[in-house]
Structure 1
């Protein structure tokens, strides 16, 4: 059975590490704000195996007009489970969560390689390309 449920920050590290920080120390998977009470972490389970993760941080971008905002960060699906709709399910789950929080806007720093996926989810680019050191080129995007 496939389910999405709330998890703690530490549970995200294995998937984050495999997908987003491969070859780097696992400590690089710990993000500022991971353990704040307002931060939400979600895991996608397939037959009780964690195969995808996403986190929402109560963080604002000056590129977004809505005063209620969450940053989507650390969204990752194991390579062996990509292109199965898991990323879309996590994205939509997070978007619905944001809407349930007084219609908060969800924004994120998208890796260049992930921009086509996010565009397929109707997200819009809100910035020029920028580099996150040791990670690569990104764009600020917002869900619509």
Structure 2
């Protein structure tokens, strides 16, 4: 049985570490704003096993004029479960939650390797690629949520 539910920030750390910050200190998996009341974290479960995560922050990016902005961060799926549609389901679930919160735009910094995945979900690149130190090359991507 598969299901998505809200989880705590601390529950995201193991998958963030394995998938997004392998070989780096576990402290690098804690994000500013993880514990804010406006932030929420979702987990994709197979039975009792957490195999996918996504975090959503109410956070403004000066590149966009919209007032109510949400940022996706830390989307990760267990290596054994990648390419099975789990990431897409997590993003869609997060989008639905953002719409309910009256979000106007969703944005994030996508790793270059993941940009095609997000493009297929109607996200658009804004600007040129840029480097996040110790993480790699990224694109700023966005989608209007209305």
Tell me whether the two structures share a fold, i.e. TM-score over 0.5: yes
User: How well do the aligned residues superpose, as a CA RMSD in angstroms?
Assistant: 0.9
Report the alpha carbon displacement of residue 70 of structure 1 after superposing the two structures with TM.
0.6
Within-5 A mapping of 1:80-99: 80-99=80-99
- Give the match for residue 60 of structure 1: 60
Report the alpha carbon displacement of residue 143 of structure 1 after superposing the two structures with TM.
2.2
Report the alpha carbon displacement of residue 104 of structure 1 after superposing the two structures with TM.
3.0
Residue-by-residue CA offset, 1:67-115 (whole Å, 9 max, x unaligned): 1011000000011000111000001011111111114311100000000
Unaligned ranges ≥5, structure 2: none
- Give the match for residue 16 of structure 1: 16
Superposition TM-score, scaled by structure 1 size? 0.97
Within-5 A mapping of 1:115-126: 115-126=115-126
Unaligned ranges ≥5, structure 1: none
Report the alpha carbon displacement of residue 31 of structure 1 after superposing the two structures with TM.
0.4
- Give the match for residue 28 of structure 1: 28
- Give the match for residue 107 of structure 2: 107
Report the alpha carbon displacement of residue 2 of structure 1 after superposing the two structures with TM.
0.7
Residue-by-residue CA offset, 1:12-59 (whole Å, 9 max, x unaligned): 001100000001111110000111111100000012200000001110
Partners in 1 of 2:69 and 2:12 — Cα distance?
Answer: 22
Number of residues paired by the alignment?
Answer: 144
From the two aligned structures, give the one with the greater strand fraction. Answer: 2
Superposition TM-score, scaled by structure 2 size? 0.95
Partners in 1 of 2:95 and 2:65 — Cα distance?
Answer: 17
